[in-house]
Structure 1
Amino acid sequence: MSEIRSPLPTVNARISPRGGLDILSRNEIARLRDASIGGMHELLRRCALAVLTTGSDSDDPRAAQQRYPDFDIEVLQQDRGIKIELRNAPAMSFVDGEIIRGVAELLYAVVRDIAYTAAEINDSGKFDLSQGDGITGAVFEILRNARVLRPHMDPNMVVCWGGHSIGRDEYNYTKKVGYELGLRRLDICTGCGPGAMKGPMKGATIAHAKQRRSGNRYIGITEPGIIAAESPNPIVNHLVIMPDIEKRLEAFVRLGHGIIVFPGGVGTAEEILYLLGLLTHPDNVDMPFPFVLTGPAASAAYFEQIDQFLRLTLGDAATSRYQIIVDDAPAVAAAMAKGIKKVREQRLNNKDAFFFNWSLSVPTEFQQPFPPTHAAMAGLNLNRNQPVHRLAADLRRAFSGIVGGNVKEEGMRAIEQFGPFEIHGDPEIMQALDALLRAFVDQRRMKMVGEYKPCYRVIGV
């Protein structure tokens, strides 16, 4: 006999935007209300529901839809501006009938970014999204429209990457590192979700309070395929939704002045390979960019395995660009602060902006969206017959496809329909990749909830 679950409490509300949401044109509102195939309404609904279910412990993007099947959102044009109408919204986002202010601000960011990307990036003709300069220009404009680019500020933005599915010891360690960063008056940018994306922000809030520092920035950068599986954590006070994973990654490296990586799974491996691919590109080899891999003592073996995989696949040119610091939060923060001083000197010498890294070369193979299809995954060139940065680009795509199969709705549907992705390449690389992925599965770094069923098969092991 199946269990009958009581419906979850919901709220109907009409709220007035505040916290940085600009007025919208009639065309933008019409696009957001368009429920046809290709319209923006379903995208708006999914992203809004993710924000309204902040704190969920599920990484299945369909879970919230199943728990709140009658939820809907509508953007209304009125004489004095716009209103957002919520129907059957999760009650957890309200207190005494009023929406929590932080949740409201994140909700406004969802409306802002979806409307802006549709009207000003995709349809305006202002950007040639087949060319590198056009893509970088689009990334800049989305970040500027979100008001996260701050002039007249010294470099202080630390990007923290890591898994949403990490153990308690690892999570507590991310808080310690965030605390040390906050004591050094550094701001935090993450992928906005739970786990290693929340811990550094939580630690930094205490340190910033001790330093009596105001105007602290806790920036979360996500994209539509990820946000439903990794709802924003409540500390994020600036949310940005980029159109796809590649623009999200470029936003991290253009906005950040240094990057810290905590333990994670395939998404974290994808981010590491993306950054190493850029830093090994001939145009970037002399660019200072502090890059630290860190975790508690119990995670030492995890980083040894990551390091071995990178040495085997990319060699010393890549591994020389990062430090591994285990179980020493003050040393991590000190290394980051020292590295950011070098970034400041380099930007001054090159007359480059502090708020956006224009000098970093991002080749188009790192910018073009990679669709997680079976044909695309099988066609990756995972061999050593190419420059290191190009091998890194295809390895990054391999991990990106696995992320898609794990947590993105379209990827999960493809796996259900056609079976696991097949990944081919150099036998030695395939053996190392298979061992790394098996370790992620054994350590439960692929999923937060439920038993993991691999969405891939490594061929040639």
Structure 2
Amino acid sequence: MSADIARSEHCDGTKVSTRVYPARSLSVLSHAEVARLSDATEEVGELLRQVALAVLTSGEQGDDAEQLFETYRDFRIEVHQVNRGMRIDLENAPGCAFVDGEMIRGIRELLSAVVRDIVYFQTEIHPSPYFDLESSGGITNTVFEVLRNARLLDTELDPRLVVCWGGHSISGEEYDYTKEVGYQLGLRGMDICTGCGPGAMKGPMKGATIAHAKQRTLPGRYVGISEPGIIAAESPNPIVNDLVIMPDIEKRLEAFVRLGHGIIVFPGGVGTAEEILYLLGVLLNPNNRDMPFPLVFTGPESAREYFEEIDRFVGLTLGKSAQDRYRIVIDNPVAVARHMAEGMKAVRQWRVDTNDAFYFNWQLKTEPAFQEPFEVSHESMAALDISPGLPTHEMAANLRRLFSGIVTGNVKPQGLRAIREHGPFEIRGDRDILAALDELLKRFVAQHRMKLPSGKPYQPCYRIVG
């Protein structure tokens, strides 16, 4: 692992108790709004505590959420109404979030975003009869409302937001490559959106910051989109300047494709595979056939076999029509950036011709199978239908759920507990597909893409049943 990845302001166990005032979108609130926020934090107290703890360790390396929660089990957060608006009280917060007794400004902004998004969903959306969380259109409207409340929808900007997906556990060579791609994108005026964590989520942002400085386009947009179940394992990297916490993984994935104008996929593990299958399943919808959506898989020369394996798996399970939706570019950051720049022109023209917004892709058709939350359990994992007779979109949806379940078993606290108590998830299905899946997962394990290296052998949270 490169020194650039490994270096971090490691929390040394120091704990700080203090009071802070929110930043940015929560800096000006009415008394009524503060009262609702304060009341709601009692209802979502443990969820808010865990997500707040994740952002207070922003920049730390590690994906063991249970260890994080155990280390700071005495951490507390409370929201209070005061004359000047709202105050956040922290007890036994990680000392690495502070410099000389003052909270780092970027972390204060991220903490404010956590309070804003979690409480907004619980108070304004979830109980409201005006939000239909059971229908496809209602879910899309919910995604829009959360993004709008986070002030991420800018009507003044042309299409230029590139979503970058990839693993949090990658090699130093791959990390450096993501930085170079980000740099080339930044030189061409593009902004970056990622899952907000380390590795391939941090590298493109870091490269883009240098390019934006050279082009005098600072501050650039560095958007991080996360959700409560994953953020403790992938805490926000310090470059993120716009963070939004979506309610669940499905709304997080929809936010990526509605907000972004093109997507670049770097090497990763099961989380990246989940994202690929989600996007391809959406793009294969006949209603989206003609919509321009630039999609590139890329990495250094050492990642060539990785993408060949992904390509074979996609071809076997989803067919050539899915393979035709992306381009594989190996070891050529300039070519990747140029392809994205040309793609942005096509996206802009399409939005103009179809009278669609630049800031939110309303016309993208998303089936309910890609929007309905998948509750991961041993029963739901074993019941997944992985057979060649399925319609392509159903196969993509079930494979996405399968990989989502493995992510849960690898890093999410509830998944870790379930595996300890009941053993590995069982995966059943067609022999040929399972053989290809087994090969792909073994490659992820061998290349340390499942979890960040901890000195211990990876213990699979799944078992493939022939």
Shared topology, TM-score over 0.5?
A: yes
Q: CA deviation at 1:426?
A: 1.1
Structure-2 separation of matches of 1:26 and 1:419: 44
Structure-2 separation of matches of 1:410 and 1:350: 44
Q: Aligned residue for 1:454?
A: 460
Structure 2 residue aligned with 1:8, among 6, 13, 23?
Answer: 13
Structure-1 separation of matches of 2:358 and 2:406: 34
Structure 2 residue aligned with 1:148, among 152, 156, 163?
Answer: 152
Structure-1 separation of matches of 2:232 and 2:205: 20
Structure-2 separation of matches of 1:159 and 1:7: 33
2:63 partner amino acid: D
Structure-2 separation of matches of 1:423 and 1:337: 40
1:235 partner amino acid: I
Structure-1 separation of matches of 2:187 and 2:441: 36
- Give the TM-score normalised by structure 1: 0.96
1:181 matched to 2:185: yes
Q: Deviations over 1:279-329 (max 9, x none)?
A: 111111111100000000111110111111111111101000000000000
2:37 partner amino acid: E
Q: Deviations over 1:154-187 (max 9, x none)?
A: 1000000000000000000000000000000100
Q: Aligned residue for 1:339?
A: 343
Q: Aligned residue for 1:3?
A: none
Structure-1 separation of matches of 2:102 and 2:220: 25
Q: Aligned residue for 2:301?
A: 297
Structure 2 residue aligned with 1:276, among 258, 277, 280?
Answer: 280
Mapping 1:79-90, distance limit 5 Å: 79-90=83-94
Moved more, 140-149 or 122-131: 122-131
**Alpha carbons 1:183, 1:204 under 8 Å: kept:** yes
**Alpha carbons 1:9, 1:91 under 8 Å: kept:** yes
Q: Aligned residue for 1:371?
A: 375
**Alpha carbons 1:59, 1:449 under 8 Å: kept:** no
1:193 matched to 2:233: no
Structure-2 separation of matches of 1:99 and 1:71: 16
Q: Aligned residue for 1:255?
A: 259
Q: CA deviation at 1:54?
A: 1.3
Structure-2 separation of matches of 1:417 and 1:455: 12
- Give the TM-score normalised by structure 2: 0.95
Structure-1 separation of matches of 2:73 and 2:205: 32
**Alpha carbons 2:34, 2:86 under 8 Å: kept:** no
Partner of 1:20: helix, strand, or coil? helix
**Alpha carbons 1:166, 1:195 under 8 Å: kept:** yes
Structure-1 separation of matches of 2:35 and 2:157: 36
Partner of 2:139: helix, strand, or coil? helix
Q: CA deviation at 1:109?
A: 0.2
Mapping 1:53-132, distance limit 5 Å: 53-132=57-136
Q: Percent identity, please.
A: 60
**Alpha carbons 2:196, 2:226 under 8 Å: kept:** yes
Q: CA deviation at 1:56?
A: 2.0
**Which ranges in structure 2 are unaligned for 5 or more consecutive residues?**
1-10
1:46 partner amino acid: Q
Structure-1 separation of matches of 2:62 and 2:218: 33
1:30 matched to 2:39: yes
**Which ranges in structure 1 are unaligned for 5 or more consecutive residues?**
1-5
Mapping 1:206-221, distance limit 5 Å: 206-221=210-225
Structure-2 separation of matches of 1:423 and 1:246: 21
Q: CA deviation at 1:385?
A: 1.5
2:391 partner amino acid: P
Q: Aligned residue for 1:229?
A: 233
1:289 partner amino acid: F
Structure-1 separation of matches of 2:453 and 2:79: 34
Structure-2 separation of matches of 1:18 and 1:421: 42
Displacement over 3 Å in runs of 4+: none
Structure-1 separation of matches of 2:130 and 2:377: 29
Partner of 1:283: helix, strand, or coil? helix
**Alpha carbons 1:120, 1:126 under 8 Å: kept:** no
Partner of 1:311: helix, strand, or coil? helix
Alignment: residue pair count: 450
Q: CA deviation at 1:7?
A: 7.5
Q: Deviations over 1:230-278 (max 9, x none)?
A: 0000000000000000000000000000000000000000000000001
1:381 matched to 2:385: yes
Q: CA deviation at 1:27?
A: 3.0
Partner of 1:436: helix, strand, or coil? helix
Structure-1 separation of matches of 2:44 and 2:401: 27
Q: Deviations over 1:392-431 (max 9, x none)?
A: 0110000000001111111111111111111111111111
Moved more, 254-263 or 415-424: 415-424
Structure-2 separation of matches of 1:218 and 1:16: 23
**Alpha carbons 1:165, 1:264 under 8 Å: kept:** yes
Partner of 1:293: helix, strand, or coil? strand
**Alpha carbons 2:270, 2:407 under 8 Å: kept:** yes
Q: Aligned residue for 1:242?
A: 246
2:434 partner amino acid: M
Moved more, 221-230 or 448-457: 448-457
Structure-1 separation of matches of 2:17 and 2:137: 44
1:27 partner amino acid: R
Q: CA deviation at 1:16?
A: 1.2
